[in-house]
Structure 1
Amino acid sequence: MNRDDPERIAAQPKLNQPDAAPPVVDRNAFDAALAEQVAREKEVTRHNDRVSAERRRLPMVEVENYTFEGPDGPVKLTDLFGERYLLLVQNVMFGPDWEQGCPSCTWAVDNLPANMGRITENGIAFALISQAPIEKLEAWREKNGWPHLWVSSHDTSYHYDWGWTRATDQGEEWQLPGYSYYLLKDGVPYLTYMMTARGTEAILPTAHIMDRTVYGRQQDWEDSPEGWPQYPTYG
């Protein structure tokens, strides 16, 4: 099903407008309050610039040229680059015994740019990797209408080597979502950066759009005024 399918849109719950709202002030008071907020956000922007500069100075580590399973057969990690030298991998939580992909990761894939050509034209290839067998991945990809290449690490140690699947002391396994950034240099794949947990929000535009509405994401972990609508994050 395509993400813009009318039936999918019609099935979404209708939201009631909350009663709570910010105080009403005159234009001068609003402009002054907004200016203070913009100043704070500029501090964040400048700090992000400094952090990004340090990110570009990180070292890199060689990665095994894993052989994944794709929809048409074996696919090596280096194959995921195609004709490009940079690769972004979204590590989607989908365990071998799961019947469907993680709802949060599914939402994150839906957040990807509608025109992925804006990424590839800058030399960045893109692919999804999960631990479930390829048949399950293909079924979930088709259900959600995704055009992206999705490969399975099911018969490799990839998920364990890089911490995307971890185990408790009792041997119970759990997974992490996130993104891996690779550079192909002289035919060898290198990991240059990876992020997980809330670090993934950096490339989720919907989250940032919601953050700037008056009610934010409406999730129960947020620091919001009394009476603001808040719901469990994964409710």
Structure 2
Amino acid sequence: MTTHPLPPVVDTATWERRLQTLRAREKAATRELDAIAAERRRLPMVEVPDYTLEGEDGPVRLVDVFDGKRQLIVYHHMWFPGKEWQCPGCTGFTAQFTRLEFLDGYDARFVVVTQGPIDEALAYKRRVGNRMTWYSTADSSFGADVGAPPGGEFAVNVFLREGDTVYRTWHTSCRGAEQLTHTFALIDLLPYGRQEEWQDSPEGWPQSPAYSRWPRSEDIAALYGAGADGAERPRQGR
């Protein structure tokens, strides 16, 4: 006999009826997401200045961060000066992106930009085993101008290049970034969900303070960092 809270047990026909009722709502949500994406494709855009960031090989213009592509997704990683371990949410979020080559078929690229000095940022990238290409905006107003100032929250921005001119097309932060991750999508399928106190769950369901089940940056480093498998991760991109 278990002491764990459980969903009610019903016959197959009852379960199928309840599933189909939920499926109708899921399909409606899918159609709404399609409509939102359609509206996103119709958003106007704004031209941005010719920023210069710092990359692994030195200064690089924002237009060259596209690496020849026309579309660019930028994840602005939070940065705390002098800290050994940076934001666990950002560290865990970007750790999942290990295969980005599929974006080539869409004429797009996905990179990390942070307020941290480039040497410190690259050292942190190696320590936690991150596979994305990192840039620093420590000596540029780029981050601050697009919603990711020093000491601020993380953010996601999307840009479009036409020749040497760059335009900003979309921006989000906080839970708006969840659509980019598979982690929450998988967890939300589970009977107990995210198990966080803010969620609407049946009485008795396991619940913990928000973020308490998230891996720490140290955990990410132990799993994926340079020393985790005894070898340095291969260098990616420019």
TM over 0.5: yes
**Corresponding residue to 2:110 among 126, 151, 157:** 126
Structure 2: gaps spanning 5 or more residues: 213-238
Kindly provide the amino acid, as one letter, of the partner of residue 196 in structure 1.
S
User: Is the partner of 2:185 in helix, strand or coil?
Assistant: helix
Alignment-derived partner of residue 218 in structure 2: none
- Sequence identity of aligned pairs in percent? 37
Residue 133 of structure 2 aligns with which residue?
A: 149
Distance 1:75 1:96, change over 3 A: farther
Q: Distance in 2 between matches of 1:77 and 1:45?
A: 34
Indicate the residue corresponding to 1:28 in structure 2.
13
Which consecutive residues of structure 1, in runs of 5 or more, have no partner in the other structure?
A: 1-16, 166-172
Structure 2 match to 1:3 = none
1:139 CA displacement: 1.2
Aligned counterparts of 1:97 and 1:193: Cα–Cα separation in 2 = 31
Letter in structure 1 aligned against 2:145: D
Instruction: Give, in angstroms, the shift of residue 51 of structure 1.
Output: 1.0
Match of 1:215 in 2: 192
Provide the rounded CA distance (Å) in 2 between the counterparts of 1:129 and 1:96.
15
**What do the CA deviations read for 1:18-53 (whole angstroms, capped 9, x no partner)?**
811101101001000000000011111111111111
Contact kept, 8 Å, 1:85 with 1:124, in 2: the verdict is: yes
3-state DSSP class of the match of 2:19? helix
Equivalent positions of 1:103-118 (< 5 A) are 103-112=88-97, 114-118=98-102
- 1:96 deviates by 3.5
Q: Which residue of structure 2 aligns with residue 88 of structure 1? A: 73
1:98–1:132 contact (8 Å) kept in structure 2? no
CA displacement 1:105-130 (0-9 Å, x = unmatched):
11110232x32111122211121000
- Preserved contact between residue 18 and residue 228 of structure 1 (Cα < 8 Å): no
Report SS of the residue matched to 1:175. coil
Question: Equivalents in 2 of 1:18, 1:71: separation in Å?
Answer: 54
Measured after TM superposition, the shift of residue 183 of structure 1 is 0.4
Q: Which AA in structure 2 matches 1:81?
A: F
Given that 2:95 and 2:129 are in contact with CA atoms closer than 8 Å, whether structure 1 keeps it comes out as no
Equivalent of 1:179, from 152, 156, 172? Answer: 156
Q: For the residues of structure 2 that align with 1:119 and 1:18, how far apart are their CA atoms? A: 47
For 2:175, the equivalent position in structure 1 comes to: 198
Could you tell me which amino acid in structure 2 is paired with residue 85 of structure 1? R
Kindly report structure 1 stretches of 4+ aligned residues shifted beyond 3 Å: 95-99
Q: Which residue of 2 aligns with 1:12?
A: none
**RMSD between superposed Cα atoms in Å:** 1.6
CA contact (8 A) 2:78 2:151 kept: no
- Secondary structure of the 1:58 match is coil
Tell me the CA shift for residue 222 of structure 1: 0.7
CA distance in 1, matches of 2:17, 2:59: 60
Aligned residues: 211
| Alignment partner of 1:226 is 2:203 | yes
CA–CA separation in structure 2 for the residues paired with 1:119 and 1:77: 18
For residue 97 of structure 1, report the CA deviation from its aligned partner.
4.0
